Structure 1
């Protein structure tokens, strides 16, 4: 079975995890907490995710006892978690 690095960042959480043979080897996450009184803020959320993602990938691989070259495939969320929002603002 392949070793898969999974990446998720469709809403206020961003995550990286590793799965092999149907077993979750690691699952790292970081959450953007919106300041009180503000709604979902795509711009700050996307900046948070960009700032956290590489560290999460590194931590997920370390927790799984793997290196980047051990990964056979990458799975990721495509598109936005909330319809009608833009992540690049």
Structure 2
């Protein structure tokens, strides 16, 4: 049995569910730059280099962790051990 296609309103409302977390992440990203430069006193180039280094490291390690998680097979499932133990 075929399901009818989703309407624009259903797609829009589904996408709207992530808006609050995106506002939080953007606010934190803007605030951390302000904090490091104006409160902590680091230069803008140092903050930029630091944040770029962290993003590049994340860019390298995310696929590696994805491969490790995909190849994990336990009696609790594929991802549950990581969700349980990495949240501690």
Name the TM tier (shorter chain): under 0.3
Greater share of residues in strand = 1
The structure, 1 or 2, with the larger RCO (C-alpha pairs under 8 Å, 6+ apart) is 1
Larger Rg: 2
Q: Which has the higher helix share?
A: 2
TM-score by length of 1: 0.27
TM-score, with normalisation over the residues of structure 2? 0.28
